Amino acid sequence: MSILKDKNILLGITAGIAAYKSASLVRLFIKSGANVKVVMTPASKDFITPLTLSTLSKNPVYSSFVDEEDDNEVWNNHVDLGLWADIFIIAPATANTMAKMANGVCDNILLATYLSAKCPVYFAPAMDLDMYKHASTKASFDKLTSYGNKLIPAGTGELASGLVGEGRLAEPEDIVSFIEKDILNQLPLKDKPILITAGPTYEALDPVRFIGNHSSGKMGFEIANAAANLGAQVILVTGPTHQKTTHSHIDVKPVTSAEDMYIEVHKHFKSSDIAILSAAVADYRPKTVANQKIKKKDSTFSIELEKTKDILKSLGEIKSNQFLVGFALETNNELKHAKGKLKSKNLDLIVLNSLQDKGAGFGVSTNKVTFITSAGDVIENELKSKAEVAKDLMQQILKQLDA
């Protein structure tokens, strides 16, 4: 999964022959999972049609401040466009538009949107060789980068004039790669190894039966996605679940039993900077596992159970510099029990959720949690989607790490 997934990308197109590459760029952004809108200078419509870009982006294309629909004038709000965008990329960026951007000239909707944008702005120049080398163009580059805009260098090759040299618009794949790498390089957990557990464990009774719980693994998978989106390299140890992830920064290690999870977690813990144990691990397992299916005979049936290894406690006993996070699912005296678990297992943070809270717990897409830190802070959160809870958790971890 690309780091651009779910990002709002605004693509600005100016009047150069390289505008034909914009169609491929839109397709690549859509393929990465981003939401795409396009804003054009009026003259750029001579090189590529708004209909093409609208069809590919699945959104209206903006090229003027006012559209006429059924004899009514519709105002295209450049401020809203600028605020909507997580990323603004101008490609191709002509010498004319860059000079206007550098000097605050605002005579079309693209330039007005640029001046309104609060997000990172990338620009990819495209022009002929002599224009690219001109001192005024270099001055525009320097001024734009001094404002915090990011230059995607032009390529070298045959140009529309027939000359060979610098000035070619970077290829769409290279533009996407440049933006992805730039975002990753700024992420707070870039390349940090993080260990996360998710899902239930199944404790075998015989070859066809097991003791388990109702955990779906969704919370753990959302945490893994949130950590990966912050640049982390995630090892996700998960019990049996239907949850899936395609994120390129998540390495899934499927396990079945508590013992399997114990072994797999200990393989990776020492090399991890952060460990978040959200799995619902069985506290007990059958003492004896039958080799063959147990036949129904008597009206009652007893199973002797034995304790499983306490994975979280075992990590708390051996941790050195790792930041260790546990989960507590409680049904009564929730805060007291969670604080006790935080201390007894040597945790840096515990996430408490109660089955008494409607919309929290297993098998639902929402959760209501309380963060309890090793410093004694208690931070209550509202009912949110598990994806939002995961983001909140990662922000809380970063806050404590920076303290």
User: For 121-154, b where at least 16 C-beta lie within 10 A, e where not — what string?
Assistant: bbbbbbbbbebbeeeebeebbeebeeeebebbeb
**Using one digit for the tens of pLDDT, what is the confidence trace for 276-335?**
999 999 999 999 999 999 888 878 888 999 999 999 999 999 999 999 999 998 778 889
What is the domain-level CATH number for residue 181?
3.40.50.1950
Give the pair of three-digit tokens for residue 333: 């005296």
Q: What is the pLDDT of residue 330?
A: 78
Task: Give 68's pLDDT tier (boundaries 50, 70, 90).
Answer: low
Query: Do 29 and 131 lie in a common domain?
Result: yes
Cis before 207 (ω within 30)? no
**Using one digit for the tens of pLDDT, what is the confidence trace for 342-363?**
999 999 999 998 777 676 667 6
Q: What is the pLDDT of residue 334?
A: 86
Domain count, the chain: 2
- The residue written with tokens 């297993």 in the block is 362
Residue at 331 is within a domain: yes
The residue range of the domain holding 390 is: 193-290+303-402
**pTM value?**
0.80
What whole-number percentage of the chain has pLDDT above 70? 96
Active site residues: 213
Query: Do 394 and 254 lie in a common domain?
Result: yes
* 70 pLDDT higher than 70: no
Query: Do 55 and 95 lie in a common domain?
Result: yes
Query: Do 154 and 248 lie in a common domain?
Result: no
Cβ neighbors of 150 (< 8 A, separation 6 or more) are: 120, 121, 122, 123, 182
Give dist(CA 217, CA 223) in Å, integer. Answer: 10
The residue type at 336: K
**Using one digit for the tens of pLDDT, what is the confidence trace for 193-225?**
999 999 999 999 999 999 999 999 999 999 999
Give the pair of three-digit tokens for residue 231: 């640049």
Query: Do 91 and 146 lie in a common domain?
Result: yes
DSSP codes of every residue in 371-393 = EEETT--EEE---EEHHHHHHHH
What is the domain-level CATH number for residue 313?
3.40.50.10300
Query: Do 337 and 227 lie in a common domain?
Result: yes
Query: Do 243 and 140 lie in a common domain?
Result: no
Residue at 337 is within a domain: yes
Residue at 53 is within a domain: yes
The residue type at 314: S
Strands 305-307 and 366-367: unpaired
Last residue of one domain, picked from the residues 186, 212, 245: 186
